[in-house]
Structures are given as structure tokens and as C-alpha cells.
Structure 1
Amino acid sequence: MTEERRDLVFSSPPDDVDAVHAFLETVWAANPGIAEFERMAFETALIELASNVIQHAAGDTGVTCVLTVSADESGLSASLTDTADAGGIVLMNREMPDELAESGRGIALIQALVDELRYERLDERNVWTISRATPPPE
């Protein structure tokens, strides 16, 4: 499989994570060799990330995002760039909160599902990157 790269631009409102789900369906259709478990883990992490951006960064004016997903024989990666203000985000290895906590699971869940989660602020944009290596075919 050669590298497959696809882009999606979406704004919330009116878009929501359904746009990301539909977009990922096109990625999976173009990359049928990616195992179901790898797809599920990566998609869950990416949907959680997009959901967090939409929920916490949209503010009164909304947020526009550019999502780029790359897939090849070595793994999956995604970059999500958003127009929201800087959020003072500090990434570190996070533990899941206890089961009664009402929030705080997002970053911990993403970190559990991918090999790498990065955040940086570039040119007045938030840039989130996730990657997950895929095992070699048997």
C-alpha cells in the first residue's frame, strides 16, 4: 500500500463529528488492508479529538478545522488544525479519572488508543497530531 492522504475542511456549526465519521469511511474504502481493530482504535481517538475541539473550542463564533489523514503500510496519522483560541493545553500522560467523574476522559482515552498525541500552537492555530502504527500483515 502506498501512502494515502485525504483532507477534510469542516466548520462547527453546522458540521459535527458526523462529518468526520463520513470522511473516515472514504479513508477506509481507499485502504481496505487496514485491520478492523486498527481502524476502530484510530477512529475512536480521532472522533474524541474532533469532539473535544468542537465542544471546547467553538465558542460563540464556531470553529473551522482542517483534518488530514494519512495511511500507509506502517500506520495511520492525522493532523487536525483548528481556528480556536489557544487553550493553555498541556499534554502529559494522563490517567483515566474515576468512574464517577463527569469529564476528563478525552485526552486519556486518545492517549490509550494511539502511539502518539501531540499539540502545538502554530500561526494562531491549534494543531493536534495523532499517530498509530499498524502491525505488519501476517
Structure 2
Amino acid sequence: MLAQLWEDRPDVEAMDRFAFETAVVELAGNVVQHGSSATAIVCTLGVTVDEVSLRALLVDTADPPGIDSGPREMPDVLAESGRGLALIHALVTTFEYERSASRNVWSLCKDRSAAAE
């Protein structure tokens, strides 16, 4: 999906691609690894790019995550976990979560860098 997006949008700067893709992969990985439900978990992911930003919307049917998705600092260098959400916050402009209609709705937005002149 993202490889096709970058092929369709070669105007997106490499560092923007890297930051956005890393955040999307980290978020999806967290949902897969930490999501729980009495039934199968279904995830949908949509991504869009315009002249101003890169956006991702991930919706899943897992139980509410029971964590604070707000900004946080990186854990201690010796910590074995806890870097995922901090990393996502560091890579994107906005990272939001809401519970809506029995679904977890995660949204990422990364403002695009100005193109090199």
C-alpha cells in the first residue's frame, strides 16, 4: 500500500516518507501485538497525501486499549517496552485516538516538509 503511494506521489520528500511510514507501521504493529478481543480483530487502514500533509486512519475492532495515547517521553534506555507510542508522537505532527461505535479509531497526520529548492 505505502510502496504504491510513494510510486504515485514521487513529490513526497524521503524523510517525510520515512517518518510517516515508520509511524504507520509502529501503530499497526501495536494494534496487532497488543489488541485483544473475544472475537477476531478486524483492522482497516487508509492513507492519503495532499500538498500539505500525509494522513493515515486505522480503525480496529479490538477492545479499548486501556492506555493513554497522549504525548509521552521515551522510556529509559534500559526499559524493555514503552517506546511505540512515544516514537509515533515523535514522528508525526498529530496522533489522535478515539473510541467510536465499538471501534478504536487512530489517526496520524504528518505535515510535509517544504520541498528543497
TM-score tier by shorter-chain length is over 0.9
Counterpart position of 1:53:
31
Q: Structure 1, residues 49-86: CA drift from partner, whole Å, max 9, x if none?
A: 00000000055644211101010110101000001011
User: Is 1:41 the counterpart of 2:5 in the alignment?
Assistant: no
More strand by share: 1
TM-score w.r.t. the length of structure 2 is 0.93
Identical aligned residues as a percent:
49
TM-score w.r.t. the length of structure 1 is 0.79
Counterpart position of 2:88:
110
2:78 alignment partner, SS class: coil
Counterpart position of 1:119:
97
- For structure 2, the 5+ residue unaligned runs are none
Over the aligned positions, Cα root-mean-square deviation in angstroms equals: 1.3
Q: When the two structures are aligned, how many residues end up with a matched partner? A: 116
1:1-138 alignment runs, 5 A limit = 23-58=1-36, 61-137=39-115, 138=117
- Per the TM alignment, residue 38 of structure 1 is displaced from its structure 2 partner at its CA by 0.4
Counterpart position of 1:20:
none
Q: AA paired with 1:74?
A: V
